[in-house]
Amino acid sequence: MAKTPVVPPGIAHTQRDAWTTLRRFTPARIGLGRAGGSIPTRELLDFQLAHARARDAVHRELDIEAFRGQLAARQFDSLALASAAGDRQTFIQRPDLGRILDEKSKSLLEAQQTVQAWDAVLVIADGLSALAVERHALPLLAMMQFHLAREGWRVAPCCLVSQGRVAIGDEIGALLPAQMSVMLIGERPGPTSPDSLGAYLTWNPLPGRSNAERNCVSNIRPEGLSYAAAAFKLLHLMRQSRSRKLSGLALKEDAVLPGAAGLLALFPDGSNE
């Protein structure tokens, strides 16, 4: 006859949760079990570590010059810009300053102005997770590069923005000028995703555009939306936006995503599925 394990005094016995078997299907914190009136120590420490990683991602600085070197290796021209926030602490405390360019960046873009508007400008900003940009922006751009060139898109030099938020792409697109802005930016970190990349498309970018006038493809990372799937969705939105001359609520993301084999055929440089 099996003996009931004896729990030493002062130590709570960990009880399994009925949801435990479902944990293999999601990174969400479900089925953690409990020890007495709390969660098990292992789960508590795991959450504290994830929380620390999310905080570190918010405070991390993007090395603009190093990233420009990586872009150059992929044959992307680029410009280094900065928001009016100036530093990371100001960026966190003053979201409004992260939405506008500093004076030096404005002058640099004004010097780039052409008579004919670019079809699109690709803007890359650290946002709330420089880690997301460092890990995922270049692989996504690399998958889009061939298709943009084949389809004859006139793409302005990539604009790399330090201490930037989504709306800064509107000012960049207006100053160049460009018919649309496509921003890749680090999204707000969470306990399971400190490195999630978002893509925001805006037709006819002008200061004052609202979020309702943009389209978003989010959670781009190996554990979320694969690079190939994100590139497929984003290219579809860009084509539709240029054809219909709009973006936002009026532009639905209705592309039928092909299977893994179809994505691999379209983006043979590799995928992260």
140-199 pLDDT per residue, tens: 999 999 999 999 999 999 999 999 999 999 999 999 999 999 999 999 998 889 999 999
Q: Give pLDDT < 50 ranges for the chain.
A: 271-273
Tens digit of each residue's pLDDT (9 = 90 or more) over 17-36: 667 777 778 878 888 888 88
CA distance linking residue 265 with residue 273, whole number of Å: 14
- Bridge pairing between strands 180-186 and 121-125: parallel
**What are the residue ranges spanned by the domains of the chain?**
63-266
Predicted pLDDT at 128: 96
Predicted pLDDT at 8: 54
Predicted pLDDT at 12: 55
Listed residue (80, 79, 61, 230) closest to 141, CA to CA: 230
CA 120, 124, 125, 128 torsion-angle sign: positive
Predicted pLDDT at 26: 80
Q: What is the CATH number of domain 63-266?
A: 3.40.50.11240
Predicted pLDDT at 273: 44
Predicted pLDDT at 21: 78
Report the Cα 9 to chain-centroid distance in Å. 49
Check if the beta carbon of residue 83 is closer than 8 Å to that of residue 98.
yes
